[in-house]
Chains A and B, each alone.
Chain A
């Protein structure tokens, strides 16, 4: 595959993740606390971590294969944590709105 295509996809991913980070940080001001506010800080941290990981993506090829596998596994782990926290948050919001 052409390196230009790979670079374009990675660049798009970084842009999208930084847009997500911008939105997440902007929304933080709307939530001083509560169920969403508490979880939001954690979610923003994860988005920040993903953004940093995306920026580092072009340099990951320089790592040894063992370290690279570990990095990928850690990213998968945090991705799964992000999904669990988000689904749990939605479940609690639905519960409150259904009361």
Chain B
């Protein structure tokens, strides 16, 4: 697959995220969450470290009509639709950060608290937290928190 390819969610993909109508689970749902209409395939690999079969999962999602390649380049950054189901997920992310970081969690918790209440907003906040932690807190804890957060986001 071309590493520069950009995928966007189709109406079906957005419907699945909002209502779970098609019952996507685990890694397939996580891959759908990661697709944002402006990150290319190599950027998606960066966001999903350890997601070895990402391309295969994306191809499956494309075949089933949840995502489609963006023909005319990346879409503008998504505004996202606030989702009331997001709030408890955000609380779980914050709890995970507090568990992993203990009394070092302050800045990370603040980033998560201030994240927009959308799938994309939380995903971006998690990535930002991971980068900040790698730089100024602890690389191992950054990887651990990212793993936990992606598992939590996969339950959306």
Q: Which residues of A does B touch, CB under 8 Å? A: 30-37, 93, 96-97, 99
7 A-B pairs with least C-beta separation? A99-B46, A31-B136, A34-B136, A33-B138, A34-B135, A36-B135, A34-B137
Contacts of B136 in A (CB 8 A): 30-34, 36-37
Q: How far is the CB of B108 from chain A (nearest CB, A)?
A: 12
Tell me what chain B mostly uses at the interface: helix, strand, loop, or mixed.
helix
CB–CB A35/B104 < 8 A: no
B contact residues around A36 at 8 Å (CB): 135-136
0 or 1 for each of B20-39: is its CB under 8 Å from A? (1 = yes)? 00000000000000000000
Q: How many pairs of A and B residues are in contact by the CB < 8 Å rule? A: 35
Are A93's CB and B135's CB within 8 A? yes
A34 to B131, CA, bound (A): 10
Q: Does B133 contact A (CB under 8 A)?
A: yes
Determine the distance from Cα of A32 to Cα of B137 in the docked complex, in whole angstroms: 5
* B59 close to A (CB within 8 Å): no
B104-143 vs A: 1/0 string, CB under 8 Å? 1000000000000000000000000001011111110010
Please determine whether B137 and A37 come into contact, CB atoms closer than 8 angstroms: yes
- Determine the residue in chain A with the shortest Cβ distance to B103: A32
List the A side residues contacting B134 at CB < 8 Å.
Answer: 34-35, 96
Contacts of A37 in B (CB 8 A): 135-137
B50-64 at interface with A (beta carbon < 8 Å): none
> Which of A30, A35, A97 gathers the greatest number of chain B CB atoms within 10 Å?
A35
* Distance in Å: Cβ of B1 to nearest Cβ of chain A: 19
Q: Would you give 19 A-B contacts (Cβ < 8 Å), ordered by A?
A: A31-B135, A31-B136, A31-B137, A32-B104, A32-B136, A32-B137, A33-B136, A33-B137, A33-B138, A34-B134, A34-B136, A34-B138, A34-B142, A35-B135, A35-B139, A37-B135, A37-B136, A37-B137, A96-B134
Q: Knowing that A36-B136, A99-B46 touch, tell me 20 more A-B residue pairs with CB under 8 angstroms.
A: A31-B136, A31-B137, A32-B104, A32-B137, A34-B133, A34-B134, A34-B135, A34-B136, A34-B138, A34-B139, A35-B134, A35-B135, A35-B139, A36-B135, A37-B135, A37-B136, A93-B135, A96-B134, A97-B131, A99-B131
Residue in A closest to B138 when the chains form the complex, CB atoms: A33
Closest CB of chain A to B103's CB: distance in Å? 10
